[in-house]
Chains A and B, each alone.
Chain A
């Protein structure tokens, strides 16, 4: 791990511990002395915000699990028991349910940040890949959590999503019975989803450690996308970035609180306040907002197997980005063409999300198909070609020089 600190424990217990397990110097090197580019902007605070989100979900989740009953006859009413009879249960449950959305808002900003500033490029490919794995696990955890509260959309969402696995040739049927623990979504499904919902966040926590470990080898990328040249380009992580990240986390908490206290159900589907009923299918089965773009891709293909395949490819594509992008220049600031295509892609992702919430018919279907095609076009055609044809702007000499120029330009001559 880079950023070896000359950490010397002073107190006797610290010295005792350090000789046996050098964990204090490890933490000091990683979170105090760690040299960090001095020009990181607010988009870089979302890593810390995501750690906060994971912590909040685990903490509230552990408390909720103390009061929740994972059984088809009692799951829904045990959630209402939490909302009504558990002290501050309404608060804990609203933080947890909105927390899932907050987690995804933060992770999408974090990922788009990486795409804009080329943070996935050599030598940071593995950081990106670990991040995509975390993102996949987040989707799994969120899906399991949404199912176990056993509302109408839980049940029917689970039925639709698990059936997708049935489309896989050869192993599909076996996989389906394994997911269900029977012949349909039922009590065994609820039980195993609850178990997995408790497991996955700890897998995420483990991967977050690897993600940060891998980050601390080359150090942070930065808005200029150029390498750190020396100590004049960096500041120590503490106190410079601990204070900035904490400020950003508190701003994020304000945004979070706005939903928890004033519109706690705005991001959810009202149908999930109706208890699951296998005899009554909701008019529109839609996943939670953060999965809608993939749902749109799935439904834009008229064949089930190919639809599932396209959705799978849309996710697999994320792993390949470090090699699909052929440009050596990281930051979009110096890539005039890529910058425009980046924003086009953001719009495409939003359009896919919007289409995912609409019934697949008429104009929605046509727009959905175009947006799906553009999703793949962006990654498999635009990204590789752009690196070959684009003339990047000249890169600045160093981070410190660029920072000095900027502050000089800001003052009247």
Chain B
């Protein structure tokens, strides 16, 4: 009896794996084969590393945010559970370093005020045209969902950030483009954004290119999937419940059908 149950249960998981694995393999990027990092958020029990998210946010804030927005994120998200978990006071301080336009006030005038936790993280440019004008015609994409908008996103972002090189001989680069091994077509408008010791980490971690690339990729995985930890935690409970429930139902099934065979 339990054998049959085990076979069916095994079949269900095998079927899921059989569908899922080729999907992953089929989705190779058009750039080079991506580098792989052993992320803390991988796997069914994966969680974010708070210190890493804080470092990643620091890299975003000091480097990426000069050109890239994260328009779906608000400052308040920084102090919410499952993220970098800054304190409310820290979040207020971080928000207040930026200015937002508010209004109209009682006199009908728009006015500037320091950003508050309720505000969206301030964008570097007021609109896409301004962004293009400042970037040689190229539009720096919003990064909120970047790790979900590319196959194997976290590894893709990490590979791009660490994938700059001199163009191999014979490769003709278009004007203002940079050679990147992992970018589709190998020509990317973004100049190499990170170099060793570009930021001074608040937690004292050594700011190597590799470290910064990993940290900001982890941060962008959180911006794309801020409920990842809730999802993993609830998933475990649901799966355990369903397995027990299935076992009880299978026993009932055997008992009810006993007189029929």
Residues on A lying within 8 angstroms of B by beta carbon are 38, 42, 77, 80, 83-84, 90-91, 94, 235, 239-240, 243-244, 246-247, 250-255, 257-267, 270-271, 273-274, 283, 357, 403, 407
Contact = CB atoms under 8 A, between A and B. Distances in A.
Given A266-B24, A273-B145, A273-B149, A239 B249 contact: no
Interface string B220-247: 0000101100111011101100110110
Contacts, number: 105
A262 B245 contact: no
Contact of A84 (B226, B250, B252): B226
A42 B24 CA distance: 29
B148 to A, nearest CB: 4
A239 B252 CA distance: 10
Contacts of B257: 240, 244
B16 A244 contact: no
A258 B239 contact: yes
Contacts of B226: 84
B174 interface: no
Nearest to A280: B139
B185 to A, nearest CB: 10
Contacts of A260: 235
A69 to B, nearest CB: 15
A246 B30 contact: no
A251 B27 CA distance: 28
Interface stretch (B5-13, B55-63, B85-93, B100-108): B5-13
Nearest to B237: A261
Contacts of B27: 270
Interface string B1-43: 0000000110011011001100110110010000000000000
Contacts of B150: 270
Instruction: Give the interface SS of chain B, mostly helix, strand, loop or mixed.
Output: helix
B145 A80 contact: yes
Contacts of A255: 12-13, 15-16
Nearest to A357: B26
Given A243-B253, A259-B16, A265-B148, 11 more contacts: A83-B227, A84-B227, A239-B256, A247-B250, A251-B12, A254-B242, A255-B16, A257-B235, A261-B235, A270-B149, A274-B149
A266 B23 contact: yes
B231 A261 contact: yes
A253 B77 CA distance: 32
A262 B249 contact: no
A407 B257 CA distance: 13
A394 to B, nearest CB: 24
A239 B255 CA distance: 11
A262 B23 contact: no
Given A251-B9, A251-B12, A254-B242, A77 B72 contact: yes
- Point out which of B30, B44, B141, B249 has the most chain A C-beta atoms below 10 A from its C-beta: B249
A381 B59 CA distance: 65
Please name the 10 residue pairs, one residue from A and one from B, whose CB atoms are nearest each other, closest first. Answer: A261-B235, A273-B149, A247-B249, A273-B148, A90-B227, A258-B16, A273-B145, A250-B246, A243-B253, A255-B12
Contacts of A271: 149
B245 A243 contact: no
A310 to B, nearest CB: 25
Nearest to A151: B149
B148 A254 contact: no
A205 B77 CA distance: 40
24 contacts: A77-B72, A80-B144, A84-B227, A90-B227, A94-B231, A240-B256, A243-B256, A244-B253, A246-B249, A247-B246, A247-B250, A251-B246, A252-B12, A254-B243, A257-B239, A261-B238, A262-B44, A262-B235, A265-B148, A266-B24, A267-B23, A270-B148, A270-B149, A283-B184
B127 interface: no
Interface of B: 8-9, 12-13, 15-16, 19-20, 23-24, 26-27, 30, 44, 72, 77, 141, 144-145, 148-151, 153, 184, 224, 226-227, 230-232, 234-236, 238-239, 242-243, 245-246, 249-250, 252-253, 256-257, 260-261
> Could you tell me the dominant secondary structure of chain A's interface residues?
helix
Task: Pick from A240, A253, A258, A259 the residue with the most CB of B within 10 Å.
Answer: A258
Contact of A257 (B77, B141, B144, B242): B242
Contacts of A250: 242, 245-246, 249
A190 to B, nearest CB: 20
B20 A266 contact: yes
Given A91-B231, A257-B242, A264-B231, A243 B252 contact: yes
Contacts of B30: 283
Nearest to A255: B12
Given A80-B145, A261-B232, A270 B239 contact: no
Nearest to A267: B23
Nearest to B24: A266
Contacts of A403: 261
